[in-house]
Copies of this chain bind each other. A is one copy, B any other.
Amino acid sequence: MEQRIDRIKNQLHSKSYKLTPQREATVRVLLENEEDHLSAEDVYLLVKEKAPEIGLATVYRTLELLNELEIVDKINFGDGVSRYDLRKEGAAHFHHHLVCIECGTVDEIQDDLLGEVEKVVEKDWNFKIKDHRLTFHGVCHRCQNAGEESEAEKKPKKRNQVKVR
């Protein structure tokens, strides 16, 4: 945690930005809720618990800054608000999302599923890919198993529960 903050501080410094107390508090909230997909408002409320004097505008500015520095990714799941997702350190690509249309849960897929697809896009469309967004909407394993809790083989191989809102 502290090392992670130090590295983020260095990333800011390398671009001549400072890790002010407000920015550090915001980063800490993001780190402490790494599995979530928080809106700016969500972040604001959480940061206020520790740094009550912080302003909403500062939170927006900080999130925008972290996005520019590629420390967070901004993503929109179609519910009208932008959400901020800490980019995993060392991840070569932005992870993917599974949004459950029944319970609203968002699970993450860290695996690189798009390697082959990206080759095709770069070659056939002559498009130089810088980033991507891949989201599946459907029914999560929990909602499929509503009622029949047992059956071990229906459990997913990997999971990582996350809530939208």
Binding site for B on A (CB under 8 A): 74, 76, 78, 82, 98, 101, 107, 109, 113-114, 116-118, 120-121, 124-141, 144, 154-159
Judge whether B138 and A128 touch: CB under 8 Å. yes
19 residue pairs of the A-B complex, CB under 8 angstroms, read A101-B130, A107-B125, A109-B125, A113-B121, A117-B117, A118-B136, A125-B156, A126-B141, A126-B155, A126-B156, A128-B138, A128-B144, A130-B137, A131-B137, A131-B138, A133-B133, A133-B134, A133-B135, A133-B137
The reply to whether A124 and B157 contact each other, CB–CB distance below 8 Å, is: yes
Across-interface contacts of A140 in B (CB, < 8 A): 127
- Copies of this subunit: 2
CA–CA, A78 and B131, complex, Å: 13
A125→B99 CA distance, assembly (Å)? 12
A146 to chain B, nearest CB (A): 12
Give Cα A135–Cα B94 distance, bound, in whole angstroms. 12
* B134 lies within 8 A of A132 (CB): yes
The closest CB in chain B to the CB of A131 belongs to B137
Whether A121 contacts B133 by the Cβ 8 Å rule is no
A140–B137 Cα gap in the complex (Å)?
27
One of B107, B117, B125 near A114 (C-beta < 8 A): B117
Q: How far is the CA of A120 from the CA of B126 in the complex (A)?
A: 27
